[in-house]
Amino acid sequence: MKREVSKAIKGTWILTIASLFSELLSAIYRIPLQNIVGDRGYFIYQQVYPIYGIFSVLALSGLPVVISKTFAQQDGPVAKSKLMKLTFVGLLAGCLALTILLWGSARYLAIFMGDPNLYPEIRAVSLTFLLVPFEASLRGYFQSDLEMTPSAISQILEQFIRIVVIIGSAILFGKGLLNIYQMGMIANSGALVGGVFAVVILVITFIKQRPVIFEDDQVVDVKVERGLALEILLIVVFTGITIFYQFIDSFTMLRLLMRSGIRLDNAEILKGVFDRAQPLIQLGIVISLSFVSTIMPQLRETNQTSVSKTIIQKMMRVCLWLAVAETAGLVALMPEINTMLFTNADGSVALAIYMISIMLVSFINLLIAITSGDDELNLSKLILFGVSLLFKIALNIILIPRINIIGAAIATVISECMILVGMYLIYDNGVFLLSKDFVMKLVSTGFIMGIIVKFLAVLISRQVILTRGYSILISLLLIPVGVIIYLVLSKKLKILTKSEWEILPMGKFITKLMKIEE
**pLDDT per position as a tens digit, 194-229:** 999 999 998 898 888 766 555 555 655 666 666 666
Residue 245 in any domain: the answer is no
- Give the amino acid at 509: F
If pLDDT is split at 50, 70 and 90, which confidence band does 429 have?
low
Q: Residues 60, 199: contact at Cβ < 8 Å?
A: no
**pLDDT per position as a tens digit, 69-78:** 776 666 666 7
Buried b (16+ CB within 10 A) or exposed e, 477-509: ebbeebeebbbebbbebebbbeebbbbbeebee
**pLDDT per position as a tens digit, 440-476:** 899 999 999 999 999 999 999 888 888 888 999 999 9
Classify 174 as helix, strand or coil: helix
Residue 119 pLDDT: 92
Domain count, the chain: 2
Residue 486 in any domain: the answer is yes
**pLDDT per position as a tens digit, 260-302:** 889 988 999 999 999 999 888 888 877 655 555 544 444 444 4
Residue 124 pLDDT: 93
Range of the domain at 105: 1-213
If pLDDT is split at 50, 70 and 90, which confidence band does 305 have?
very low
Residue 175 in any domain: the answer is yes
Greatest mean pLDDT among 17-26, 295-304, 406-415 lies in: 406-415
Residue that terminates a domain, selected from 191, 213, 235:
213
Greatest mean pLDDT among 205-214, 354-363, 404-413 lies in: 404-413
Inform me whether the pLDDT recorded for 1 exceeds 90.
Answer: no
Residue 221 pLDDT: 64
From the list 457, 218, 422, 426, the residue with the least C-alpha distance to 330 is 457
Inform me whether the pLDDT recorded for 392 exceeds 80.
Answer: yes
Residue 318 in any domain: the answer is no
Residue 446 in any domain: the answer is yes
Residue 354 in any domain: the answer is no
Q: What is the mean pLDDT of the chain?
A: 82
Inform me whether the pLDDT recorded for 42 exceeds 60.
Answer: yes
If pLDDT is split at 50, 70 and 90, which confidence band does 322 have?
confident
Residue that terminates a domain, selected from 178, 213, 248:
213
Residue 290 in any domain: the answer is no
Rounded CA separation 374/322 (Å): 27
* Stated pTM of the model: 0.85
From the list 416, 419, 438, the residue with the least C-alpha distance to 313 is 438
Residue 189 in any domain: the answer is yes
Q: What are phi and psi of 176, to 5 degrees?
A: 80, 15
Residue that terminates a domain, selected from 160, 195, 213:
213
From the list 108, 107, 154, 102, the residue with the least C-alpha distance to 125 is 102
Q: Residues 254, 271: contact at Cβ < 8 Å?
A: yes
